[in-house]
Chains A and B, each alone.
Chain A
Amino acid sequence: MRSGPFKHAIVAAVIALVVAACGQIFSSPPEWTEAETGVLRSLWLDSLPDLPEDRSNAVADNPKAAEFGRKLFFDARLSANGGISCATCHQAERRFTDGLQKGQAIGATARHTPSIVGTAYSPWQFWDGRRDSQWAQALAPLEDPNEHATDRAQVVALVAEDADYRASYESLFGRLPDLPIPDPLALNSAFANIGKSIAAFERTIMPTASRFDEYVEAVVLDDSNRQAALFSDDEIWGLRLFIGEANCIQCHNGPLLTNHEFHNTGVISFPGDVPDKARIAGVAEVMESEFNCRSSFSDDSDRHCPELEFARTGIDLIGAFKTPSLRNLENTEPFMHKGQLATIAEVLDHYNQAPDSMIGHNEAKPLGLSDRELGQLEAFLATLAAAPSLYFDNI
């Protein structure tokens, strides 16, 4: 290269650029503005409203029903081979998931096991929202040939023949009819009551405050020393991306970091499967479900069912899955509706690229984040770790 004034100028410019870039990367994050503090407050667990009442389940908040439901939840006799309980797939130490791509019970299930934590707040259950209450949800796997593979008559018989269960059931719902129960309405009613007891237990499974929540408290109290002690710069930059440029908060909003709604985000199909139609099939199923809010098994005599009444249908819902909560992702890999993505880093990379969806359209847009920024987002997500609690344990 020819020496001369140009060379010096170029070297000086390169040094200036490197210094400027490093300054940008290593600079401390700015203070939160009032508007940003408002957004952080909206994600704070302290902002979680009271649990919405489940008018379709008269025993939803009855501790006796929750205790009965807890026993049922862990009872493997509720299956064709006596080896599968709800807890087989919904493992408490994995935030009530199972660490597998698809659930494995009597057979392989169709999708990844979703968590139960905080789902009492959701109007829709399952990845595709094909049930509209926790109690209706709890009944479906019992009769799924790939899950518990039992049936309602056997489930009711188990409760009737176990003295402890029968006593619990009858103290909550009145006398259990003699077996076998020939009247399908009476059988279905008893089956629904068993689901309502399991739901009463599941309603107690809630997230607990994480380091992120402590940090938000420090921001709200304007305690900068505590903020610095709680969050590293990378975690703060990650949080800034989360509520800003990365658009995560579009769907992962509110104190549970989910809007409980359905979105197509272009996740690739599972090997051997056709792409999953998801919500468009789920909404059709919930409308026809024999245990939905409008059914005679609901305890709400008004049959007040605004979710069903105003449920959206149509092709926008092709390939749309329910937004999962992001609280406590530790030990819950893999991710997405069929466990297609093995790590959080893969999930972040997927959203960074936002590929065209195989069916329907991907609502997400490419983000163009750097590897460093993706790392900061991952660091932030780890601050949401906190084992769920069973409030019921404290009663």
Chain B
Amino acid sequence: MISRQIVSYLLVFCFLVALPAQNATAHGGVVEEDDLCVIKVNYLRAHFKIYQPGVTGHEQYCEDLPVASESIFVMEYQHDSLSTMPIGFRIIRDVTGKGRFARIEDVEEIEDLEEATVYYQPPVVEPHIYLANYTFLEEGDFIGIVSAEHPETGKIYAAVFPFEVGFTGLGYWPFIIGLLLLIQFQYLLLSGRLKRWFGKAPVVATCLIVCALFVTPTAFADNPVVTYTTPDGAPEINRMHNWILHIENEDGLEIENAIVDVEGGMPEHNHGLPTKPRVTEELGAGDYRLEGMRFHMSGYWEIVVTITTDSGTSKVTIPLQL
């Protein structure tokens, strides 16, 4: 049957496409999510990565490191509260004997933690991002321990991640085993045995997933119209200037007493405005003074105006080519 063939070939295709993402295995407090490495310190999460810039440049590792050399540990917070918490970082030799199955309980049982410690950075408040630099002197099994102290309760949260330095990887064995399993699955699917066992569930599930991809979010209810003038002359790069925003609803009635927020950026370059402009005054008749505008590049910009009134919130995007 064609549908069964399509499903089975799709599965093989997906497996092959997903292969490069499987280079790093994750364990302990570090997990891989959406191709990103994430460390979970209790409920607090941070994007986690390690570099060996002197050896492999910009190549990033989730945990296991290829050689003993200078290693940069990076945690980019996904919870703002980590910016206010004292964070400590310790690396110990793995004396638990548990290898990559070591857990926080195993670390707590270590009698002389200091003796096993090869690197320790005492707790310190580091806004936005946490960085540590340690040069491994030898290869082997290690355990990283990250602690974060809650500023109000004083409770200390910890994450433990075992890792290997001098990691050679598992080669292609997981891939080969996976492929063999998939071929077996494909045989079952094509031979019709799977259908006899489970009915049409796999085909239906695939259709549902594909359908879900086509569901788009609904639009905003209001449709305000925003125009602007620039009393200090036309916008040009590298000069701070002001705008007057004029806001009407779709029937041409001026919108007053609105809370107006402005963001902006260059979608093609994935960055925002160089300044944080703000509506500083409502001038009446639907006019609002916007101060602190500046563009620092020529090209395509989008200014997103968020208008909040009693009847709800709407966003209007103003395109601008400089």
Partner of B240, one of A273, A306, A315, A360: A306
Contact pattern, A 78-91, Cβ under 8 Å of B = 1, otherwise 0: 00000000000000
Contact A250 B54 (CB under 8 A): no
Alpha-carbon distance between A280 and B291 when the two chains are bound, in angstroms: 22
Of the stretches A134-142, A351-359, A377-385, the one at the interface is A351-359
Alpha-carbon distance between A250 and B60 when the two chains are bound, in angstroms: 28
Beta-carbon contacts under 8 Å, B232-283 to A: 237-238, 240, 269-278
With A268-B57, A272-B70, A358-B72 in contact, do A259 and B238 touch (Cβ < 8 Å)?
A: yes
In the bound complex, residues from chain B placing their C-beta under 8 Å from that of A266 are 58
Contact B58 A316 (CB under 8 A): no
Closest to B276 in A: A312
Closest to B297 in A: A250
Contact A268 B53 (CB under 8 A): yes
Does B133 sit within 8 A of A, measured CB to CB?
yes
Alpha-carbon distance between A272 and B81 when the two chains are bound, in angstroms: 29
Contact A249 B298 (CB under 8 A): yes
Contact A277 B70 (CB under 8 A): no
Contact pattern, B 60-87, Cβ under 8 Å of A = 1, otherwise 0: 1000000000101010100000000000
Closest to A365 in B: B269
Contact pattern, A 251-279, Cβ under 8 Å of B = 1, otherwise 0: 10110000111110010110111110100
Does B301 sit within 8 A of A, measured CB to CB?
no
Contact A310 B292 (CB under 8 A): yes
In the bound complex, residues from chain A placing their C-beta under 8 Å from that of B53 are 268-269, 271, 358
Of the stretches B37-45, B124-132, B190-198, the one at the interface is B124-132
Beta-carbon contacts under 8 Å, A294-318 to B: 306-307, 309-316, 318
In the bound complex, residues from chain B placing their C-beta under 8 Å from that of A357 are 58
Does A55 sit within 8 A of B, measured CB to CB?
no
Alpha-carbon distance between A260 and B271 when the two chains are bound, in angstroms: 16
Contact pattern, B 273-307, Cβ under 8 Å of A = 1, otherwise 0: 11111100000000000011010111100000000
Does B51 sit within 8 A of A, measured CB to CB?
yes
Partner of A309, one of B49, B237, B273, B292: B292
Contact A274 B76 (CB under 8 A): no
Contact pattern, A 354-373, Cβ under 8 Å of B = 1, otherwise 0: 01111111010000000000
Closest to A271 in B: B54
B284 to chain A, nearest CB (A): 23
Does A186 sit within 8 A of B, measured CB to CB?
no
In the bound complex, residues from chain A placing their C-beta under 8 Å from that of B49 are 358
Partner of B131, one of A262, A310, A359: A359
Does A284 sit within 8 A of B, measured CB to CB?
yes
Contact B72 A363 (CB under 8 A): no
Contact B237 A254 (CB under 8 A): yes
Contact A363 B74 (CB under 8 A): no
Contact B275 A280 (CB under 8 A): no
Partner of A271, one of B60, B70, B269, B272: B70
Contact B240 A307 (CB under 8 A): yes
Partner of B237, one of A253, A262, A271: A253
Partner of A355, one of B58, B237, B296, B298: B58
Alpha-carbon distance between A271 and B55 when the two chains are bound, in angstroms: 11
In the bound complex, residues from chain B placing their C-beta under 8 Å from that of A355 are 57-58
In the bound complex, residues from chain B placing their C-beta under 8 Å from that of A272 are 70, 133
B243 to chain A, nearest CB (A): 12
In the bound complex, residues from chain A placing their C-beta under 8 Å from that of B292 are 306, 309-310
In the bound complex, residues from chain B placing their C-beta under 8 Å from that of A268 are 53, 57-58
Contact B76 A363 (CB under 8 A): no
Contact B51 A269 (CB under 8 A): yes
Partner of A315, one of B57, B58, B128, B278: B128
In the bound complex, residues from chain B placing their C-beta under 8 Å from that of A312 are 272-276
Alpha-carbon distance between A277 and B131 when the two chains are bound, in angstroms: 9
Alpha-carbon distance between A371 and B291 when the two chains are bound, in angstroms: 45
B34 to chain A, nearest CB (A): 15
In the bound complex, residues from chain B placing their C-beta under 8 Å from that of A253 are 237-238, 296-298
Contact A310 B275 (CB under 8 A): yes
A149 to chain B, nearest CB (A): 25
In the bound complex, residues from chain A placing their C-beta under 8 Å from that of B240 are 306-307, 310
In the bound complex, residues from chain B placing their C-beta under 8 Å from that of A260 are 238, 296
Contact pattern, A 308-338, Cβ under 8 Å of B = 1, otherwise 0: 0111111110100000000000000000000
Contact A310 B291 (CB under 8 A): yes
Alpha-carbon distance between A254 and B294 when the two chains are bound, in angstroms: 14
In the bound complex, residues from chain B placing their C-beta under 8 Å from that of A259 are 237-238, 274, 296-297
Alpha-carbon distance between A50 and B45 when the two chains are bound, in angstroms: 50
In the bound complex, residues from chain B placing their C-beta under 8 Å from that of A309 are 291-292
B146 to chain A, nearest CB (A): 15
Alpha-carbon distance between A251 and B238 when the two chains are bound, in angstroms: 10
Contact A250 B269 (CB under 8 A): yes
Contact A318 B276 (CB under 8 A): no
With A260-B238, A269-B51, A356-B58 in contact, do A313 and B72 touch (Cβ < 8 Å)?
A: no
Beyond contacts A253-B297, A275-B131, A318-B76: 6 other A-B pairs, Cβ-Cβ < 8 A, are: A254-B237, A259-B296, A272-B133, A310-B294, A315-B76, A360-B129
A-B contact pairs, 24 of them (CB 8 A): A253-B296, A253-B297, A254-B237, A254-B238, A261-B274, A269-B51, A271-B53, A273-B133, A275-B131, A277-B131, A307-B240, A310-B278, A311-B275, A311-B276, A312-B272, A312-B274, A312-B276, A313-B276, A314-B272, A315-B128, A315-B129, A358-B53, A359-B76, A361-B270
